Structure 1
Amino acid sequence: MTEPRTITLPTADHGPVTVTCPAWCIGHPNHRPDYHRADILHKGPDVNLAFHGTEVIAACLAQSPYATPGDPSLGGRTPGVSVYPPGRTLTPVQLYSLAAALDGYADRLRDLADQLHTILGGGR
């Protein structure tokens, strides 16, 4: 078994803070010394959907171990999946709902493609 990974991050309100990183955490390259302890964020690798070089949606595992209680959809102490857009952290149930909505949207795009194909004379 590997030892837990720890990192010490500077914070504006608590000085150096040592945290244990979950196995999926890719590090803290964007952490700045003027961040507060509540801003510490464990983030996993991004899962991106891009089309013609433009990012459409991105998601990653995320956890803010020192987040203050508030809106859980903005991230928190419990790991979740951060999705952008809409800029929310989702639970497993919410993530399955998003996947189902994306499946439905893909069907509607296929319907539009069929309509366009017909309009352009491909249905003759």
Structure 2
Amino acid sequence: MTGARTVTVHTLDAGAVTIPEPAWCLGHPDEPAEYRSDVHHTGPEHLVDYDRRATLAAELVEFPYGDHPVPSSVHLEILIPAVTLDPPGLQALAAVLDEQAAEVRRLALRLAVVRAGGDW
């Protein structure tokens, strides 16, 4: 990785840890991470609210020093509030889930680009 930025993150268990920082990383907090394995990179959050029926939240992450290191990946949460639905409501929810599936596919393509060395 020629010309890659590096950042020093302070931890309570390993002291200062210097790591390469991907271009998509939003930075690191000034306070120490509790453990070296907690050091991670986080990209911008991607939030899509589908008419309050369901929310998709995703962000690019990487945990280089985890107990099981995680390469660039997407952390994803899909939040669907508990509801009781009639047939039209079920159809509307299914449409939202179809939209979310399409968004997850787009995120998969973007992640593949990042893992191949491209930009998020």
Q: TM-score scaled by structure 2?
A: 0.57
1:84 CA drift (Å) = 2.1
The residue type paired with residue 106 of structure 1 is: A
> Partner of 2:70: helix, strand, or coil?
coil
The residue type paired with residue 64 of structure 1 is: F
1:78-117 maps to which residues of 2 (within 5 A)?
Answer: 78-85=71-78, 105-106=94-95
Between Structure 1 and Structure 2, the one with more strand by share is: 2
Within 2, Cα distance between the matches of 1:32 and 1:5? 20
Question: Which structure 1 residue ranges, 4+ long, deviate > 2 Å from structure 2?
Answer: 50-53
Change (3 A) 1:108 1:67: closer
- Show the counterpart of 2:62: 63
1:32 CA drift (Å) = 3.3
Change (3 A) 1:16 1:107: closer
Change (3 A) 1:107 1:44: closer
Within 1, Cα distance between the matches of 2:44 and 2:33? 24
- Show the counterpart of 2:108: none
Superposed CA RMSD: 3.3
- Show the counterpart of 1:115: none
Structure 2: where are the runs of 5+ without partners? 80-92, 99-120
1:1-124 maps to which residues of 2 (within 5 A)?
Answer: 3-29=3-29, 32-50=31-49, 56-69=55-68, 76-85=69-78, 105-106=94-95
The residue type paired with residue 77 of structure 1 is: V
1:51 CA drift (Å) = 5.0
Structure 1: where are the runs of 5+ without partners? 70-75, 87-103, 110-124
1:40-98, CA deviations, whole angstroms, 9 ceiling, x for partnerless residues? 11111111012568x822101110000112xxxxxx43211001247xxxxxxxxxxxx
Q: Number of aligned pairs?
A: 85
